Chains A and B, each alone.
Chain A
């Protein structure tokens, strides 16, 4: 298990317990009392540590190399996922996976960012940072979902849209903008779930919907903490501070009125057990799906508009100028 820095006390204690257990089994001395005490202490320590995670700890958790990706969750959440490829104009971007499946027996379209799970796959999937053709593939399949009245589920997990020459030439900006624009008007329910990192416009291009959920240790931000620190304070090493100032955790977004619900994580993070995590996702996703399907299509788009219209913090000092 790859451990994070803030989890070190937990790891140390776990090692100690393992040691004692080992000793007990290989000698006549019975230490089970001692072990029991330590295990109790471990539980308390875990509670303390995981309940007082700083935003920066959560950033580390969201970026954990073993954190489950879209393709890790799909088999636990859906039946018969059938991946579909290509934007019909340029190519197929492996940084976004999309396809049709069944969710509790109901046809749905599933779309998600896809990071690689090792270096080779990361190169093939450009680290989960899509090119325009990825967003255009997503849009093509969302339009298809609308035609056949299938709800859409988007799993968000990207550092951002790919910053490259080819991406700019093929219209990265336009591709993101177009997805935002079209998603705002789709007449089928759209549920978006941030499962890891929600990086800026590259995340939002799969993120306009009727419900936005975030896993407890995921983040969603306009820029990475490192980028923010470099830009604002000319020092990327202040990323830790930026992670707090920028308000990027699930809890922050909930209090800003952007996220509808936080999906709790398996103790110690989603990477501990992808299957159990999928169940926790399902417990929030399923009721939301049922609720949204009872709303008629025209209302759905209006409600979605009102949802986004409300987001923002400004001072209203209306005078006669505003009429």
Chain B
């Protein structure tokens, strides 16, 4: 070979193919074996994360929890009886594309709406419960959410048991307009009714609890708690920054910030949640609901 030829390509360029797995092959690969913490980037086995109540083993970041995961982690096994599971969303304002959005979220989450309510027990102490789920339309409150909470509170009155709610909501459901606003009044009035009859109300705010939900039932517990790091507030950060024309501190509207401002009774780590709720239910045993 002549020396000059050593520098020129002799063979035609080899065509390389990228391997694209077929749809079927994709299904074979188990999804989400590992997860990366969005905060500290630690990589963990999903199984271990689940065992750890969806709390990052590295930094303690509390992942959003699905309604039924919470029920499983808190309530006595087999004690939960769901209420109004079939209550479902209509489109009262005739809002464009609303039904489709609801249908898509139903399919995605396996839930009928953004909340699961029912009656159950923690360490044998019975109570009525409501668990919001932010994976369904950001946990937003429309007529169904308002009605389910109200009915669960009425059930607490009927059974003379306490009411415990875990909130997770971006606020009012825009597609139900002023009807969703009025759910703030409806749920607030129901809470008042239970409270006037001596009923115990506990609210646990989880990430996020904002807008109309934070400005109604979420703030109306005899005890108001929050999970670490949860975003809680009335107005959105962007709107406030525009109004006051200054940057807000990083921790603004976090559970810890609110605790410092005197807006919360305590910030409770998920690991101690059951024990603390159980204790409160225990010491309020004698103060049941008077009809």
Contact = CB atoms under 8 A, between A and B. Distances in A.
A308 B147 contact: no
Contacts of B91: 313
Interface residues of B, number: 67
Interface string A280-323: 00000000000000000000000011001101111111110110
Interface in B23-61: none
A312 B86 CA distance: 16
B240 interface: yes
B215 A172 contact: yes
Contact of A208 (B82, B92, B188, B239): B188
Contact of B192 (A162, A173, A174, A182): A182
B178 A221 contact: yes
A150 to B, nearest CB: 20
B86 to A, nearest CB: 4
A309 B150 contact: yes
Interface string B143-185: 1101100100000000000000000000010111111111111
A163 B179 contact: no
Interface string A169-197: 11111101110111011000000000000
B93 A168 contact: no
Contacts of B179: 256, 258, 311-313
Contacts of A103: none
Contact of B147 (A165, A231, A314, A321): A314
B95 interface: yes
**Interface-centre pick from A178, A204, A253, A316 (highest chain B CB count, 10 A):** A204
Contacts of A201: 181, 184, 211-212, 215-216, 234
Contacts of A168: 233-235, 240, 252-253, 261
A161 interface: yes
A208 B185 contact: yes
Interface residues of A, number: 57
B75 interface: no
A223 interface: yes
B85 A321 contact: yes
A252 to B, nearest CB: 8
A313 B191 CA distance: 21
A173 B186 contact: no
A297 B102 CA distance: 42
Contact of A164 (B86, B184, B243): B243
Interface stretch (A3-11, A240-248, A271-279): A240-248
A287 B253 CA distance: 45
A231 B96 CA distance: 14
B274 to A, nearest CB: 25
Interface string B210-242: 011011111110000000000011111001100
B184 A258 contact: no
Contacts of B184: 177, 180, 201, 204
Contacts of B193: 184-185, 305
B263 interface: yes
A247 B93 contact: yes
Contact of B182 (A184, A304, A311, A319): A311
A222 to B, nearest CB: 4
Contact of B143 (A231, A305, A312): A312
A185 B192 contact: yes
Interface string B87-100: 11111110110000
B251 interface: no
B103 to A, nearest CB: 13
Contacts of A231: 174
Contacts of B96: 245
A185 B193 CA distance: 8
Interface of B: 82-93, 95-96, 142-144, 146-147, 150, 172, 174-186, 188-193, 195-196, 211-212, 214-220, 232-236, 239-240, 243-244, 246, 248, 252-253, 261-263
Given A164-B243, A176-B216, A201-B216, 15 more contacts: A165-B246, A165-B252, A173-B234, A174-B263, A177-B184, A181-B191, A181-B220, A204-B184, A220-B181, A222-B180, A232-B174, A247-B178, A309-B150, A312-B144, A312-B147
